[in-house]
Amino acid sequence: MADDQTITILIADDEPDILELMVEEFEDNGFEVVSASCGDEGAAIIKDTGTNIQVVLSDFKMPNGSGMVILEEVLQMDESNRPDFFFVSGQADIPVQECLDKGAKKFFTKPFDIDELISDINSLLKK
């Protein structure tokens, strides 16, 4: 993706403080941000505007649809338009390998350093 293009990211997290922090930090780093507070809301955004989103960063465990609901919606998209998908979670009992096998690029563990998270995502997007 060209450096002069704005990258649109969908961030989904059920913890309002974490969601707000991530939205602010990604916006401060030049991303256009769309947010969702649950998996069902995130999946609906992908269904409605998916081709306009280049990256999804989703919590794994959320009420009203887990992050897997969003990933499943992403997997329904044409492969050439699929956004890069990243998970975050503070839970220890997550099937990380299953998530990666289904198409997530990386799994970040909470708590995370937001600057490192953004840097890692930017690095992975350049590959």
Structure tokens at 5: 């293009």
Superfamily of domain 8-113: Response regulator (3.40.50.2300)
pLDDT in tens, 7-56: 999 999 999 999 999 999 999 999 999 999 999 999 999 999 867 999 99
Global confidence as pTM: 0.91
Q: How many Cβ atoms are within 10 Å of 54's Cβ, its own excluded?
A: 19
